[in-house]
Structure 1
Amino acid sequence: MLISDRYDFAGEALVGGMAQVLVCNDVVLERRVAIKVMPGSANRRRIRDEIAALLKMRSKHVVQVYDILSLSHDDLAIVQEYISGLDFFDDATKPENTNDYLRLIWQIAAGLADIHEAGIIHRDIKPNNMKIDSEGVVKIFDFGLAREEGGNACTVGFVGTRGFAAPELYAHDAKFTTAVDTYAFGATALFIGLRDLPDELKFQPPRALAGSHFSAFSFTLGSDVVEILKACLELDPSNRPSMKKVRDVLALHLLEGRHKALVVFNSKPSYLSAANRSVTLTLPTLGEVEIYYDGFDFVVRGVAGDVFVNNKRVVIGTKLPGACVVALGATEHGSRRRYITFDLSHPEIVL
């Protein structure tokens, strides 16, 4: 059976919610695609929302739209990237260790950060609205509930998935922000680690978490990872972090021990990394600083005299930014001051 004289139905159809998904072969470009059909004119607004959202996406972790079709009987359809992998309700996706877990949820966070950067609220993030493709890349899909961010982001009555829907979505004429996706991400991250949701999240609306469920996994997470994941599930949306911040915290842990920095003082270079974690730079009588790599950040571990980073006085614990100038000696010492250049390389997460 050919659809629109181009897409050959491959014999597999999936039904869920208000749509049917047909797995087809694109006979022109010779690739497999997923055609999502939403029947009847009553759903035109819904599918237009999904099309508008997906056309804005430019993310490795969001499905790509290839085509839009008008079918008979007022049906509309989206032709999109076909993901053959498993969704996160399948126990085969359960991570076995900390690194595997961080790689999965970092990808979800990265996709959501891209979605929010485009000004879109997904509004139905949950384990079966994302899959892992054949290359191990997580893809987020199903934008049928998506809305553009802004004053019109509201709904009458509850729309969402219980257990993953933020508490504010249960209010009549609910107004919402990207924080609803952050909450759903937190619930999804908890489900991925526990393979279930705690009872507090199953109430309607959900209640505050009692206890640290993120510490009950079969593997261990860093304390700052646990804290930011717990913050995603705050009942007050204003207390939830942005997905960009969540993504960056997770990335820091995935890249533990892989950062490198070049420190140049008196024309002599020093390299800081996991193999060489510390360097001490001294200008007699004026200033001294020890820079230490703790696996996540480059921090000041020791300081004496007058030391400044980008003209701000440093103290023990100061984190050095990606590129900066460290000055030894106060400004009144004029030409006696010495400067250190610091450049941090940014390794990429390889999936």
Structure 2
Amino acid sequence: MQGLPDRYQPIGSSFLGGMGGVIPCTDTVLERQVAIKFIKSSIDQRRMLDELAALMRVRSKHVVQVYDIVNTTEFGTGIVQEYIFGEDLIDGFVPPKDEITYYKNIWQIASGISDIHDAGTIHRDIKPNNMKLDPEGVIKIYDFGLSRQEGFNAATVGFIGTHGFAAPELYGESPKFTSAVDVYGFGATALFLALGSVPKELVCAYDKPVSRHHFNLTPLNLAPEIQSILNDCLHYSPEQRPPISAIKAALAKHILLNQHQALVVHKGVPTYLTSKNPSTTLEFTNIGKATIEYNGTDFIVIDVSGEVLINNRVVSNGAVLPGSCVVALGSPARRANEREFITFDISNPEITI
């Protein structure tokens, strides 16, 4: 390879074509394998620079890492990035063994997209071909050649994307796009990983609405909450799609089914709510009473009577407690000795892959 720095020694088979390619190398200085990505076309060089700019803003376990930039006389500028062994999620598709395995897989993808969005970037081509499972079981997202920063100028001319995974708004002549295009791509990817293929309706959808009940029909026994939020990912209207952070949080709750713990402190006495001790009743004379119950994913207020507030807001039956809050028995209009306060803190274990 003409002009390739000596520290990078090509290994194995290169993937080179008319538009460019990827050359696996050994970085002899840091003793690690890397992939150097080139794009031959001078027009498409801009896309590669977009990819570089996007990757430099992202720090994530689930997004490929950029290490270096090189220039060669044969292929021009190349991006030196983390080498991910194995096949992409299209070629290496393995049907999930159970719902938790499936939840963990798509939670990893949601985590990567969430980190991308937190960096102010839109990937724009979320699909299984742009993801790999490394030897440690970690899914990583790569190929940022279509990425753009989110904002008023986030628009393009003509369609660039992948049928079946592209959001409807990308089919316009001069589409404006937001992070919701990645949510649609995530939904289509999650459907592929559940079914092993993308329904023809999505592939031929172009700019038409599609059914939003696909996740009700998978062979997996998905929780109703997960079915609903995944179906909403495929909503025709970008504004109606959930943020990726909400999807990630919903999946995490079900991955950690029956593993959450809450510390309830009332009059200095601590009580722990877990799957083995799932409920406690808070009561103050005839002023207020409520029972908090753990259902495996959430801590819910039930059997409310009298004056019960959470973070100074009146609560009703069925309310889900946030991660940390204060439960008050007695309204703010009462005197101090007519009110009691209970602190409530939820702890979530780490998700292990």
The TM-score, its normalising length taken from structure 2, stands at 0.95
| SS of match in other structure, 2:68 | strand
Task: State the distance in 2 between where 1:15 and 1:51 align.
Answer: 19
> How far did 1:44 drift?
2.0
**Aligned partners of 2:93 and 2:196 also within 8 Å:** no
Gaps of 5+ in 2: none
**1:91-110 mapped onto 2 (5 Å cutoff):** 91-110=92-111
**Aligned partners of 2:171 and 2:207 also within 8 Å:** no
1:180 aligned partner: 181
1:219 aligned partner: 220
1:78 aligned partner: 79
1:315 aligned partner: 316
2:34 aligned partner: 33
Closer, same or farther: CA 48–211 of 1 in aligned 2, 3 Å:
closer
| SS of match in other structure, 1:154 | coil
> How far did 1:17 drift?
8.8
Letter in 2 for 1:314: V
2:339 aligned partner: 337
Closer, same or farther: CA 34–91 of 1 in aligned 2, 3 Å:
closer
Note the aligned Cα RMSD (angstroms): 1.7
> How far did 1:244 drift?
1.2
2:11 aligned partner: 10
Post-superposition CA distance 1:53-73 (Å, at most 9, x none): 111111111000000111114
Task: State the distance in 2 between where 1:16 and 1:99 align.
Answer: 39
**1:154-193 mapped onto 2 (5 Å cutoff):** 154-193=155-194
> How far did 1:313 drift?
1.6
Number of positions where the alignment pairs a residue of Structure 1 with one of Structure 2: 351
1:22 aligned partner: 23
Task: State the distance in 2 between where 1:221 and 1:15 align.
Answer: 41
Gaps of 5+ in 1: none
Post-superposition CA distance 1:224-256 (Å, at most 9, x none): 111111111111111111111111111111111
Stretch moving more, 179-188 or 211-220? 211-220
2:200 aligned partner: 199
**Aligned partners of 2:22 and 2:36 also within 8 Å:** yes
| SS of match in other structure, 1:153 | coil
Closer, same or farther: CA 340–211 of 1 in aligned 2, 3 Å:
closer
The TM-score, its normalising length taken from structure 1, stands at 0.95
**Aligned partners of 2:169 and 2:207 also within 8 Å:** no
2:348 aligned partner: 346
**Aligned partners of 2:256 and 2:351 also within 8 Å:** yes
Post-superposition CA distance 1:304-351 (Å, at most 9, x none): 221111111221111212111112223324313221111111222111
2:129 aligned partner: 128
**1:274-285 mapped onto 2 (5 Å cutoff):** 274-285=275-286
Stretch moving more, 310-319 or 58-67? 310-319
Task: State the distance in 2 between where 1:226 and 1:15 align.
Answer: 41
Stretch moving more, 286-295 or 15-24? 15-24
Task: State the distance in 2 between where 1:276 and 1:289 align.
Answer: 16
Closer, same or farther: CA 109–18 of 1 in aligned 2, 3 Å:
farther
Post-superposition CA distance 1:183-215 (Å, at most 9, x none): 111111111111111121111515333362212
Letter in 2 for 1:261: A
Stretch moving more, 202-211 or 266-275? 202-211
Task: State the distance in 2 between where 1:210 and 1:63 align.
Answer: 33
Closer, same or farther: CA 15–235 of 1 in aligned 2, 3 Å:
farther
Closer, same or farther: CA 18–167 of 1 in aligned 2, 3 Å:
farther
| SS of match in other structure, 2:248 | helix
